[in-house]
Structure 1
Amino acid sequence: MSLNSIIKKFLPKDKVFYSIFEQVGANLQEMGNAFRAAIEETNETKRTQMLRALEDGEHKNDDLTHKIFVELGQNFITPFDREDIHYLATSLDDVADFIYASSKKMVNYQVKNIDNYMRDMVIVIQSAIVALDKALHELRNMKNLRAITEACVLINSLENQADDLLDNAIINLFASSTDAIELVKLKDIYQDMEIITDKCEDAANVIESIIIKYA
């Protein structure tokens, strides 16, 4: 092996990691937009098709996460801590997983009536993903730390909003539902939707940790 080849092997491939994380952010945005569009769709048949299509986004995110792990295995030097890269990739993958889990349960449970709690929750989810995508793009050069911090603070605030929505949804559900099976189904969906914002917050916490260490 030539000296140049050895040197290249140990040089940090910043652009590779940043590029993949940006692709993850873009994919999550597409999933968030599609999830909201599906929930706002009034035609049940079309809504079901749109919800099922979210599986493609989840698979795409799995592939991108795998690429990050492959790069971790092949590169001795990384742009920031290997553990942070791993935690960030895992948290982002969890966002995609729970979007798909929520959509899959809506299909499997044959939810016919989309209520205002689901509509409000998906708006919060979409907003959190937009903020997360912004923070991911700013990681590439870390020149605009305020933008990263503001995005992370916004995600934390949106997660609190999702908590409140979940509480109100469950209170209303137990106060108004007389169908035990329907109650269990809706409660399960509400909780999965709220977990999406938890996972966005987990990713934001990793990003904040990274800028504290390296900014």
Structure 2
Amino acid sequence: MKMGEMPSGFAATRKRVEGETKVQRVFPITAMIFSSVLHKMTVFLPRENKFFDLFEELADKAVEAADLLVDLGTKYSKLPQISEQLRMLEEDADSIVHRVIQGLYYDHTRVTEEKGDIRYFAHNLDNVIDGIEKAVVRLSFAQKQEVPESVTEFSPIIKEASEEIRTAVHCLRNLKSEENTLEACCIRINELENEADKVNRKRLRILMTAPVEDPNELLDRLLLKEIVEILEDTMDQCEDVANILETFRLKGGI
């Protein structure tokens, strides 16, 4: 071996390491180019329209659930029946979400990010129904002869928000012509969420500061506090749905 000459094994190792380094540097660029090309190719593929049907079906379920919540104001004696109806609605909604996920699994016309938006939207809309059902179940545990004011204040807000969601969802089929309507619905939902925040603060203040005359009332009060928080979370879910609808609008559709 001549002076200055590296052993053959060392040279081979260095060459191999340098080769790996080169591949590591090139691979991310190649992946980015491939992802960009794939996204452009999917634009020319026919899109599945079944998600419109599933979203509309899910939005209709949300309105039905909100209607039942409002009905408690005049039909409190039918609380067990209403609770059962909500349970069935919640199961139907879960089934729709499952169909959405199955549809995404076999959908090769959308990239991962678009599939994520659709899945997230379906789950958030389902959470609106879950929240209403959960609040009514908690209400059935309270020793109340009439619907609490905290519920009657929240219920019309949630009902209007669900109706705005349904209107906005029906705009997705013809987004170019219905874009302004969808935007107006999302703005109104955000306004309703702000109203719900005010109701939440007001009701929590009353529950936490009013004197307790009967020790048994304390348990009901804690339960009502939980119900108020659930209904507030439900309105937060409505706002999340509106935010995703805005994302669909910015992207030009689903």
Name 2:117's counterpart in structure 1.
84
1:82-107: CA deviation from partner (whole Å, max 9, x where unpaired): 11101101111111111111111111
1:107-158: CA deviation from partner (whole Å, max 9, x where unpaired): 1334433232211200000000000000100011202111001100100010
- 1:77 aligns to what SS in structure 2? coil
Q: Are 1:153 and 2:187 matched, yes or no?
A: yes
Aligned-partner residue type, residue 209 of structure 1: T
Name 1:12's counterpart in structure 2.
47
Task: Mark the runs of 5 or more structure 1 residues left unpaired by the alignment.
Answer: 1-9
Structure 1 residue corresponding to 2:67, chosen from 29, 33, 36? 33
Name 2:32's counterpart in structure 1.
none
- Asked if the contact 1:52–1:107 (Cα under 8 Å) also holds between the matched residues in 2, the reply is no
Aligned residues: 203
User: What is the Cα deviation at residue 52 of structure 1?
Assistant: 2.8
1:142-190: CA deviation from partner (whole Å, max 9, x where unpaired): 0211100110010001011011001101111122241331221110011
Name 1:195's counterpart in structure 2.
233
Aligned-partner residue type, residue 48 of structure 2: K
Specify whether residues 196 and 63 from structure 1 end up closer, same or farther in structure 2 by C-alpha distance, changes over 3 A only. same
Name the CA distance, whole Å, in 1 between partners of 2:104 and 2:125. Answer: 16
- Asked if the contact 2:143–2:220 (Cα under 8 Å) also holds between the matched residues in 1, the reply is no
Aligned-partner residue type, residue 47 of structure 2: P
Once superposed, which parts of structure 1, at least 4 consecutive aligned residues long, lie more than 2 Å away? 108-113
Specify whether residues 149 and 175 from structure 1 end up closer, same or farther in structure 2 by C-alpha distance, changes over 3 A only. same
Structure 2 residue corresponding to 1:126, chosen from 159, 163, 167? 159
Q: TM-score, normalised by structure 1?
A: 0.89
Q: TM-score, normalised by structure 2?
A: 0.76
Name the CA distance, whole Å, in 2 between partners of 1:120 and 1:86. Answer: 31
- 2:140 aligns to what SS in structure 1? helix
Specify whether residues 39 and 78 from structure 1 end up closer, same or farther in structure 2 by C-alpha distance, changes over 3 A only. farther
Q: Are 1:69 and 2:104 matched, yes or no?
A: no
- 1:145 aligns to what SS in structure 2? helix
Name 2:244's counterpart in structure 1.
206
User: What is the Cα deviation at residue 200 of structure 1?
Assistant: 0.6
Aligned ranges 1:54-65 → 2 under 5 Å: 54-65=86-97
Name 1:4's counterpart in structure 2.
none
Structure with the larger RCO, 1 or 2 (CA within 8 Å, 6+ apart): 1
CA RMSD of aligned residues (A): 1.7
User: What is the Cα deviation at residue 197 of structure 1?
Assistant: 0.8
- Asked if the contact 1:52–1:103 (Cα under 8 Å) also holds between the matched residues in 2, the reply is no
* Larger-gyration structure (1/2): 2
Q: Report % sequence identity.
A: 24
- Asked if the contact 2:72–2:147 (Cα under 8 Å) also holds between the matched residues in 1, the reply is no
Q: Are 1:53 and 2:85 matched, yes or no?
A: yes
User: What is the Cα deviation at residue 24 of structure 1?
Assistant: 0.5
Aligned-partner residue type, residue 201 of structure 1: E
Name the CA distance, whole Å, in 2 between partners of 1:21 and 1:205. Answer: 15
User: What is the Cα deviation at residue 202 of structure 1?
Assistant: 0.4
1:47-93: CA deviation from partner (whole Å, max 9, x where unpaired): 23212321011001000000100000011114991111011011111
Structure 1 residue corresponding to 2:56, chosen from 22, 34, 55? 22
Q: Are 1:186 and 2:218 matched, yes or no?
A: no
Name the CA distance, whole Å, in 1 between partners of 2:152 and 2:199. Answer: 10
